[in-house]
A and B are shown apart, each in its own frame.
Chain A
Amino acid sequence: MKAFKYLIPESVEAAISFYQAHSETARYMAGGTDVIVKVKEGWMEPDYLISLKKIQEMAELHKNEATGELSIGALVTHATLEKSLMIRNDYPILYDAVSNIGSLQVRNMGTIGGNLINAVPSADGAIPLIALDGVALLHGPEGERSCKVIDLFIAPYQTILKPGEILKKITIPPQAPLTGSGYTKFGRRAAMELPLIGIGVLLTLDEESETCTKARICLGVAAPTPMRAQGAEAFLVGKKITEAVLIQAGNLAADESRVRDSIRGTAWHRREMIRVHVRRMGLRCLALIKEGR
């Protein structure tokens, strides 16, 4: 592997000053499961790697019980999210996604922030955060700004991050009662594989557990960047959710998707799987709401 100098700042400000001192030749690193591979393969050739691992404030996972807002530091590992009972119970869509990213070894090192910033079209970590209306907090040489998680992505492997900017954390607004959610990573196998298609569904019902008041249908590998099937979402709102309605929503989502043929699979297959899994995840949402989760 190419030699580099490893810098270990303990605050976001210190990390940014390191970056400013070495700008062109420096790169940030979180868990390292993507960056180290890129350096080994020669796709990234930094003279300085700035480790974010020791920045304590970026490693916190915290739910504000008063406001109901969830805050996920960018350095929180997939394994930490997977092991959290709070995530498993209150945010099943996030649990579904992070528990199948990479392998356990990768999840023990890899971080949710690194997964987002790597910006692969499959973005297992992004789909649930988009469905949960997540907001990303960025901090760079020019100060702080925030954006919706879905707006982080410009193109495959490209985000809106400016040079020197760091994704600090993601916040999830309080979730309404009677909300269910689920994510399917569809592929040949779960571990160490990018999905053929990723489908996340979140549904909120009104007090009578009948009419849908909010729907999110988020798709990975269905377009160059993670997308929402907003036509299908709008179709569901105001309706009583039945299997027949979910089948129609799946058809709408499949039509809205911009899937294409790739070495991993065909557009046709991806479209069919969107139909199947929007229905299945929708039914899962209903089952979870019924269970009282």
Chain B
Amino acid sequence: MTTPISFILNGDELFHEVKDHWTLLHLLREEMGLIGTKEGCGNGECGACTVIVDGLAVNACLYLAVDLDGKRLETIEGLAGSDGTLHPIQQSFVDEGGIQCGFCSPGMIMSSKALLDQNPTAGHEDIKHALAGNICRCTGYVQILESVEAARDRLSEQAGGRNE
């Protein structure tokens, strides 16, 4: 038994047949081959599968694919430009050493994007609060928090440049 759904994935409208018990994570990784979104715990504890649905960060492992019908989905695959230019958040994670093994990075970066989209001037505590659901076993978090602060500054510089 499948249900047809339509949604917007990283800007493109898509149609897909999904089974009722598929999670969004299953749809992305196993059915669509979009393996940038990671499966860590599978129970909403680790944040590795974080994606953005209608502007809100959610755990793709707890979100049913059928519930995506009519919604706007952003995944890590949508961040870099078509020529491979990294998104400012991704570039900041590279520059500031926010990435070691890389497994938590897609989730960390999507949580950061959801935060900075909503609050471009997020402070240190805002960042900690928004990333508290993302676990990293390598970096000790300091470089990750620095990466997000650097990304915030980079993004606001870019926005300032556009306004001038």
Residue numbers of A with Cβ under 8 A of B are 1-6, 8, 32-33, 36-37, 39-41, 49, 51, 53, 79, 99, 102-106, 108-109, 190-192
Establish whether residues A105 and B58, one from each chain, have CB atoms under 8 Å apart when the complex forms: yes
The 6 closest A-B pairs by CB, nearest first: A103-B133, A191-B132, A6-B20, A108-B56, A105-B59, A3-B21
Most A CB contacts (10 A, CB to CB) among B50, B67, B111 go to B67
Establish whether residues B21 and A1, one from each chain, have CB atoms under 8 Å apart when the complex forms: yes
In Å, the complex CA distance between A103 and B132 comes to 6
**B120 part of interface (Cβ distance < 8 Å):** no
Establish whether residues B57 and A5, one from each chain, have CB atoms under 8 Å apart when the complex forms: no
Establish whether residues A104 and B21, one from each chain, have CB atoms under 8 Å apart when the complex forms: no
Chain A residue with the shortest CB-CB distance to B62: A36
Chain B residues, CB < 8 A from A36: 23, 44, 62, 64
Establish whether residues B58 and A5, one from each chain, have CB atoms under 8 Å apart when the complex forms: no
**B98 part of interface (Cβ distance < 8 Å):** no
Of A8, A51, A109, the residue contacting B59 (CB under 8 A) is: A109
Chain B residues, CB < 8 A from A39: 21
**B129 part of interface (Cβ distance < 8 Å):** yes
For the complex formed, measure the closest distance between the CB of B130 and the CB atoms of chain A, giving whole angstroms: 5
Chain A residues, CB < 8 A from B50: 105
In Å, the complex CA distance between A2 and B59 comes to 19
Chain A residues, CB < 8 A from B114: 104
A102-B133, A105-B133, A106-B44 given; A6·B58 CB < 8 A: no
Chain A residues, CB < 8 A from B43: 37, 40-41
Establish whether residues A5 and B1, one from each chain, have CB atoms under 8 Å apart when the complex forms: yes
Of A4, A8, A37, A49, the residue contacting B44 (CB under 8 A) is: A37
Per-position 1/0 for B38-75, Cβ under 8 A of A: 00001111010010000011110011101100000000
For the complex formed, measure the closest distance between the CB of B159 and the CB atoms of chain A, giving whole angstroms: 23
Cβ contacts A to B, 30 pairs, < 8 Å:
A1-B23, A2-B21, A3-B19, A3-B21, A5-B1, A5-B20, A6-B3, A6-B21, A33-B62, A36-B64, A37-B44, A37-B62, A39-B21, A40-B43, A49-B20, A51-B67, A103-B133, A104-B111, A104-B114, A104-B129, A105-B111, A108-B56, A108-B57, A109-B58, A109-B59, A109-B62, A191-B132, A191-B133, A192-B45, A192-B132
Chain B residues, CB < 8 A from A3: 19-21
Establish whether residues A108 and B58, one from each chain, have CB atoms under 8 Å apart when the complex forms: yes
